[in-house]
Amino acid sequence: MYSTPKILLSGSKNRGVPLYIQEDLRVFPKSNSSSSIIDCLEKEIYKLKIEIVLGSPIIAIKEKNELLELTIKSEQKKELYSHVIIASGGSPKIEGLHWLARLNHEITPPVPSLFTFNMPHEQITKLMGISLKNVIVKVEGTKLKSSGPLLITHWGMSGPAILKLSSLGARSLNELEYNFKIQLNWVNQTNNSIVEKALKECALKNPNKKVSSTKFNYIPERLWIYLINKSEISNSKKWNELGKKSINKLINQLTNDIYSIKGKTTFKEEFVTCGGVSLESIDLKTMQSKSIKNLYFAGEVLDIDAITGGYNFQAAWTTGFIAGKLN
């Protein structure tokens, strides 16, 4: 049996930028670079004299004489350990979790989470680069809704509001095969009467100005022109020429702008999946397997995901800390 702690990896080692240790225990490092996290972990590994073994994927684990026997694929050999922590990350396909299912762990099928929306047939993608600080996004025909910053891209839409929605609706959107419609509220105001009042006040202040050349709310100029044209209002139209019908169209465009989503980012661009080893198979006080003694889990291999990357980092750190105690 090996008494020296080891980390068995299937990939290669990465080196990063200098370490910045934070006294306030922020989730993200001062450098704002993930390399700093790698450096921090490496520093502790070297300090504790933990051996890192590269290119060593584990293809089987089984109990043997109150120990855990690991079968290493690359070397075709078996090693015995008193305790094992699995922190292999999420798998985009359920096939990557079959080896854990064979150990009597319940597996929740993985689906993508935290992805952007593709809009190949929408003209708004021509406004790529435009961002807004606070919008409301809904998935039409469902209760799925989120709010926050939004970014228009050359392929569709991204930003915290979209990523949060993709996380909240990960399974529902997967069932829809990523073919659905979203309703956008550009002004973050659900009371249409307030929006109508704001538009009428703008008209009173700028009666002889063109609607297209008047800034409204915090909407960027290019997006404002796009929205008034979508409302069938010409660029030459003045505020005092707008009738009730045009105002109502504009209100609808500002608060209920509909776009068709046809697909999402690919697995290479997604950075979180929901699904994995079910929490029903784990003792959450210790992160130990309920099926196999001294086998522990940490990180995204578990069925844990959250609405932003920061929360997922926190879940990884927390489960890793608890598992590391080897209670």
Q: Nearest CA to 142 among 124, 168, 119, 109?
A: 168
Tokens at 248, concatenated:
């109502």
The mean predicted confidence, pLDDT, of the chain is: 86
Does residue 135 carry a pLDDT above 90?
yes
Confidence of residue 142 (pLDDT cuts 50, 70, 90): very high
Note whether 129 and 230 are same-domain residues.
yes
Dihedral through CA 39, CA 42, CA 44, CA 46, nearest 10? -130
**How sure is the predictor about 225, in pLDDT bands with cuts at 50, 70 and 90?**
very high
DSSP code for 19: P
What average pLDDT score do residues 309-321 get? 84
Q: What is the pLDDT of residue 183?
A: 97
pLDDT of 106? 95
Least Cα distance to 159 among 255, 265, 258 occurs for 265
pLDDT at 9: 61
Last residue of a domain, one of 252, 270, 288: 270
Q: How confident is the model at residue 140 (pLDDT cuts 50, 70, 90)?
A: very high
In terms of domains, do 195 and 230 share one?
Answer: yes
Coil, strand or helix: which one is 157?
A: strand
- Please indicate, yes or no, whether residues 183 and 297 belong to a single structural domain of this protein: no
What pLDDT, on a 0 to 100 scale, did the predictor assign at position 138?
A: 97
Of the residues 237, 254, 270, which one is the last residue of a structural domain?
270
* Apex 272 CA angle, 152 and 162, nearest 5: 25
**Pairing status of strand 107-113 against strand 272-277:** antiparallel
In a shared domain, residues 261 and 135: yes
> What is the model's pTM?
0.77
Average pLDDT (238-265) is 93
**Each residue of 259-271: pLDDT tens digit?**
999 998 764 555 6
Q: Report yes or no on 142 lying in a domain.
A: yes
pLDDT of residue 146: 95
Q: What is the mean pLDDT of residues 50-65?
A: 87
In a domain, 1, yes or no: no
Q: How confident is the model at residue 10 (pLDDT cuts 50, 70, 90)?
A: low
Contact 316, 299 (CB under 8 A): yes
Q: In this structure, what are the phi and psi dihedrals at residue 242, rounded to the nearest 5 degrees?
A: -80, 130
Query: Residue 247: which domain range?
Result: 115-270
Q: Are the C-beta atoms of 221 and 130 separated by less than 8 Å?
A: no
Contact between 103 and 61 under an 8 Å Cβ cutoff? The reply is yes
Q: Are residues 91 and 167 in the same domain?
A: no
**What does the pLDDT average to over 150-177?**
93
- pLDDT band of residue 219 (cuts 50, 70, 90) is very high
253 and 213 in a single domain? The answer is yes
Q: Are residues 258 and 282 in the same domain?
A: no
Domain membership of residue 12 (yes or no) is yes
Query: Does 172 map to a domain?
Result: yes
Query: Do residue 263 and residue 276 come from a single domain?
Result: no
Could you tell me if 102 and 219 lie in one domain? no
**72-114 pLDDT tens trace:** 887 678 889 999 999 988 888 898 899 899 999 999 999 888 8
| Domain end residue (candidates: 228, 248, 270) | 270
What pLDDT is recorded for position 21? 30
pLDDT of residue 306: 74
Q: How many structural domains does the chain have?
A: 2
CB under 8 A, 24+ apart: contacts of 123-130? 123/226, 124/152, 124/226, 124/259, 125/152, 125/153, 125/154, 125/155, 125/156, 127/152, 127/222, 127/223, 127/226, 128/152, 128/153, 128/154, 129/153, 130/220, 130/222, 130/223
Burial of 305 by CB count in 10 Å (0-12 exposed, 13-18 middle, 19+ buried)?
buried
- pLDDT tens per residue, range 255-299: 999 999 999 876 455 567 889 999 999 999 999 999 999 999 999
Does residue 19 have a pLDDT over 70? no
Residue 314, in any domain of the structure: yes
3-state SS, residue 105: coil
pLDDT at position 156 is: 94
Residue 41 in domain:
yes
* Beta carbons of 170 and 111 less than 8 angstroms apart: yes
Asked whether residue 161 falls in the same domain as residue 222, the answer is yes
Determine whether 151 is exposed, middle or buried from the number of CB atoms within 10 Å of its CB (0-12, 13-18, 19+).
middle
Q: Are residues 277 and 258 in the same domain?
A: no
The pLDDT of residue 313 is: 81
Same domain as 319, residue 232: no
Torsion angles phi and psi, residue 325, rounded to 5: -70, -20
Q: Measured between alpha carbons, how far is residue 213 from residues 3, 129, 200, 208 in Å?
A: 73, 20, 16, 11
CATH code where residue 39 lies: 3.50.50.60
